[in-house]
Amino acid sequence: MLILPPATAVGSITAGNALLSQIGPDSRTWFIVASLLLVGAANGLLTGLVDPQALSQVPHQRLGMASGLLNTVRAAGSTITLALFAAV
């Protein structure tokens, strides 16, 4: 299993967002897709690094509850963010 340092994932998210900031009316589809894939893959890498760190701080008897809370907060945050972007 390949384990990358968190700085790699954060740097990839930064690079993907920098590429997305260059999108204009004449941008090619492949450029947009490549930028979104870079951000999405880096976000997945970062999530895989952060979750075990957060759950390692919880007593073993409450791991299920903590995992459920973590996933609920992530889903709610994504939903609120998507709603805000759609509203703007």
pLDDT in tens, 21-55: 999 999 999 999 999 999 998 888 887 778 888 88
Asked whether residue 23 falls in the same domain as residue 11, the answer is yes
In a domain, 84, yes or no: yes
Query: Domain range holding 44?
Result: 7-57
Total domains, the chain = 2
Is residue 2 pLDDT above 80, yes or no? no
Predicted confidence at residue 19, as pLDDT, reads 93
28 and 52 both lie in a single domain: yes
Tell whether 66 is covered by a domain. yes
pLDDT bin (cut points 50, 70, 90) of residue 1 is low
23 DSSP assignment: -
CB 35 within 8 A of CB 19: yes
The verdict on residue 86 lying in a domain is yes
User: Which tokens in the block code for residue 71?
Assistant: 């996933």
Which residues have C-beta within 8 Å of that of residue 38, sequence separation ≥ 6?
Answer: 12, 15, 16, 19
pLDDT higher than threshold 60 for residue 79: yes
Q: Are 38 and 22 in contact (CB under 8 A)?
A: no
Same domain, 53 and 63: no
Residues 76, 88: one domain?
yes
Encoded tokens for 54:
């957060």
pLDDT of residue 7: 80
